[in-house]
Each structure stands twice: as structure tokens, then as C-alpha cells.
Structure 1
């Protein structure tokens, strides 16, 4: 996180935001209130909204976290969540550790992913990691409504086949819905999915750490 983003006003805003969340106030309203009070930029507001969770939720999610390398059974991957985190890192966008210990970014899906070269690289990194470290069956869920999801599924299946990985990419109406139904390990940093998960792997973070040795600014330090 660049110093111009990680300001003293932002640090205080993060503490105030967490305090309101712990008191049960709604996220969007509080994010707007605190963001306006401290005159946060759009990027700072997104970091606040996506990265600061209530204390109890942060602790609960952190306890669910396991390493993807330790998984023996089936792994369900939140395809766009994992790939977009990698893409955003590759393009130099802000990627950070949230208060629940999961790595997140400020980007989102707006119908399609335009940086095809970065997406190709993210797909390759995903497959490389799976080939080296994941022993069990792998299923990657992709949201059908996102543009070019069918093409992405075909590319991933080809990579899986060429790498002889026991995996498949599956198009679904809602990846979140399917992930929340799964009783095993899910690979995602989506807080909605994590709230329902029994255990989860921060797969994007592990892939980035193995390939780039990145430094991620840690929002947990703001809460001390």
C-alpha cells in the first residue's frame, strides 16, 4: 500500500470503522460516514470496506484458514476471486492483508477482464501451483454471467489436461452460491463465502508469495 494511501487519517478511519462494525452498524452506511469524515479517497474507502471486518468475524475467518499445500481432499476454487487478486497484483494495484488474515485487493469484476496478458499469466501461475502442491481433486467455479467465462473455462481445462492435473473448470450461475454449499475446503477471500465455509485456503496469496515474495501491507497492524 503506497504511503499516500496508508495515511494517519486512514488509520484512524479504520479504527473508527471497526468500532462501529463491532457495535452492529451496517457496513455501507458506516463506510460512507467514516469515509466522508476523514475525506478518504475512493481507493482508501475500498480498502476500508473490503479489508476491515468486525472483530468476531476477523477472528472466526482467521481460524478457518489453512494452507492449500496441506489439502488432501477435494478443493473448490473461487475462480475469479483467485485469478483477479493475482491479476491486480501483476498490474500494480493495491493488494493487502485484511483484518481476518486473508489477502484482498480493491478491484472487482465489471462484466469482463480486459488485461488478457495478465489473465493468461495468472492462469499459468494457478496451474503451476496446483501441479506442484495440490494432490486431490480440484474444481474451479466460474461465474457464467461474466463475459468470456466460457473461453476461460476452456483455457483452464486445456492447461489442466496438459499438466495432467485432476481438475476441471465449471461454469455456474453464481460461484458464491456453489461455494457456500460446499462442506470441504474452499479457496477464496470472499467474506460472504468465508462466513459459511468450514475451512478455507488463501490460494491467491500463496501463489503470489511463492512466485514473487511480495510485501503485503497488513491492516491488522492498524487495529493495535
Structure 2
């Protein structure tokens, strides 16, 4: 049912319908649950938008000497889902997203620390010129998390800084043309030139045996791997 719903939403999006209206109309038609609508809203795109985003993807091995800005919570929450073996989705644009929807209720715990370790393993292998990781200041305990990541950067000799900000999205959107931004946030992807999918790099290296990775791509089955 989700595959058919995704096809209908793509049809509407490509013809200019707003995303929320398309998901609501199709969701009502198929009598979809809130979770199913959430999945569709995060992962189904107009084909023209999806192809444009795919062209911005930077390979995990094509980062040497580059400047990287990281959408901290976006990356870490997805890595937490990976560590917990939770359901994950590859969107029409090729970026991996979780299905938790827990951004506003995020709590730092041991899984967060492990997610930082996974992220750092990618950064250490990337041989980057510099890294700036941004955390949303309005999130609970963001300052404490920033301090933990800052210390982990120092211990791993990662050439990076960690900042909290009330305007993370805005700062990422104005990244320099030759910089790379690590995020799966579609609004940010649409505003920048080069995007790195750190969770995808982790999965490529560590494997996906512990997770269910799904896709709604029109060219594949609903499950991958």
C-alpha cells in the first residue's frame, strides 16, 4: 500500500501540489496511519527534486582536504536509530533517514555517546581540512553534548570545533559553495551545493545486519538488503 501511495504522492508533487496537501490527500484516500504518513512525508519527493538532491551527494571517500559543516542532531539521532536497530528509510533522494521523529524530545544517553564514536570514525577517515559541528541551542543539554563532542574531537585529533546555535539551519544554508554539509534535512540539502550522508558512510563500513533499511523507490521492492 505504501508503494502505491508513494507513486500517487510523486505524481501530485511533480505537478506542483504542496507536500503536506499531497500526503494528506493520498493518506486519507488509503486510510493511512500517522506513522505511515510521516514516512511518506520524509522520503517521497517529486522526481525532479530527488534527482537534483542526488547530484549534490558527496562520496564518503571524496572528502580529503575539504571543509565540513555538520547538522549535529540530524546526524546523531539517525546514528542512534542505527545503533538501536530501528527502522530506517532511504528516501527518493538517496539519503538515509530514521523514523523516530524524536528531535524535540531527544535525551543524551549512552547511545548518543556511541553515535558520536561512529560519527568520529567517519571524520577520522575523511582526512578533512576542518570541521564545524552545530547543535541546536534550544535542545535540552545541548551545551553538555557540545562539550563531550569537543573533547572527543581533541582526543581523536579531528580538526574541528563544536558550537551551539539558535539558527543552525540558517547557518548551514549559507555554507560556502565549496564546503560540504552533513545532513539529511531536505530543506538544507536544497540550499547547499555538496552534501555528505554520514549515516550512509557508517552503514557502508559497518554493515546493516542489525537494521531494517527500507525504500519507497519506484524501481525497487519495499525492502533493501
Work out whether the TM-score is over 0.5: yes
Higher helix share: 1
Match of 2:128 among 111, 125, 135: 135
- Report if the CA contact (8 A) 2:68-2:128 is conserved: no
**Residue 194 (structure 2) aligns with:** 199
Match of 1:219 among 207, 210, 216: 216
* Partner Cα distance (2:107, 2:165) in 1: 21
* Partner Cα distance (2:29, 2:108) in 1: 35
What secondary structure sits across from 1:69 in the alignment? coil
* Partner Cα distance (2:128, 2:103) in 1: 33
Deviations 1:68-102 (A, max 9, x none): 33112100011111101111222233211100111
Q: What count of residue pairs does the alignment treat as equivalent?
A: 216
* Partner Cα distance (1:223, 1:30) in 2: 22
What secondary structure sits across from 2:164 in the alignment? strand
* Partner Cα distance (1:111, 1:22) in 2: 31
Greater shift in the superposed pair: 92-101 or 149-158: 92-101
Greater shift in the superposed pair: 86-95 or 169-178: 86-95
What secondary structure sits across from 1:170 in the alignment? strand
Greater shift in the superposed pair: 134-143 or 14-23: 134-143
* Partner Cα distance (2:69, 2:127) in 1: 11
Runs of 4 or more consecutive aligned structure 1 residues displaced over 6 Å after TM superposition? none
- 1:23 matched to 2:15? The reply is yes
Match of 1:189 among 173, 181, 184: 184
Instruction: Mark the runs of 5 or more structure 1 residues left unpaired by the alignment.
Output: 1-8
TM-score, length-scaled by structure 1: 0.90
Deviations 1:91-122 (A, max 9, x none): 23321110011111222344342361211110
What secondary structure sits across from 2:191 in the alignment? coil
RMSD (Å) for aligned C-alpha atoms: 1.8
**Residue 6 (structure 1) aligns with:** none
TM-score, length-scaled by structure 2: 0.90
List aligned pairs for 1:1-16, cutoff 5 A.
Answer: 9-16=1-8
**Residue 151 (structure 2) aligns with:** 158
Instruction: Mark the runs of 5 or more structure 2 residues left unpaired by the alignment.
Output: none
* Partner Cα distance (2:188, 2:129) in 1: 21
Taking a change above 3 Å as real, the CA distance of residues 159 and 51 of structure 1, as seen in their structure-2 partners, is same
**Residue 210 (structure 1) aligns with:** 205
Taking a change above 3 Å as real, the CA distance of residues 129 and 212 of structure 1, as seen in their structure-2 partners, is same
Shift of 1:205: 1.3
- 1:169 matched to 2:158? The reply is no
- Report if the CA contact (8 A) 1:35-1:45 is conserved: yes
What secondary structure sits across from 1:68 in the alignment? coil
